[in-house]
Amino acid sequence: MSEKKKFTLEYELKSSPRILFSFISEPNGLSQWFADDVVFRDQIYTFTWDDEVQKAKMLSFKENKMVKFKWIDDEPHCYFEMEIVQDELTNDVALAITDFATDETLKERTQIWDNQITYLLSVIGA
């Protein structure tokens, strides 16, 4: 099995960092685009898609800036991070995604993020 490597994707979003932050950090916000259901209990986020359940811990967050999660059953060095990037000159807002994938799964992981972010855009009406 090949090792997972870090990759980063960036998506431009027409949203304020404050509004966007609630969608990437709060169970209610995440369940509107990232997973079918998100429950937060005992410091653990439980994400549900159809019949698949995955648990994650939030490793760190900066208010209106970024969140970093770690899947409980993933390799030790792996995590996924969503960072709100705002251009100081234009005030354009983007969401930078950092995730890990093997060479074999990179294309699939990228496609999943593309789909999720497309869904997020429709939810926030951007």
pTM of this structure: 0.93
Specify the pLDDT at position 126.
Answer: 61
Q: What is the DSSP string of 5-39?
A: EEEEEEEEE-S-HHHHHHHHHSHHHHTTTT-SEEE
10-residue mean pLDDT profile of the chain (126 residues): values are 92 93 96 96 94 95 97 94 96 96 96 96 86
Specify the pLDDT at position 113.
Answer: 97
Specify the pLDDT at position 70.
Answer: 97
Q: Name the CA radius of gyration of the chain, rounded.
A: 14
Of 3.30.530.20, 3.40.50.2000, 1.10.40.50, 1.10.3720.10, the CATH number of 5-124 is 3.30.530.20
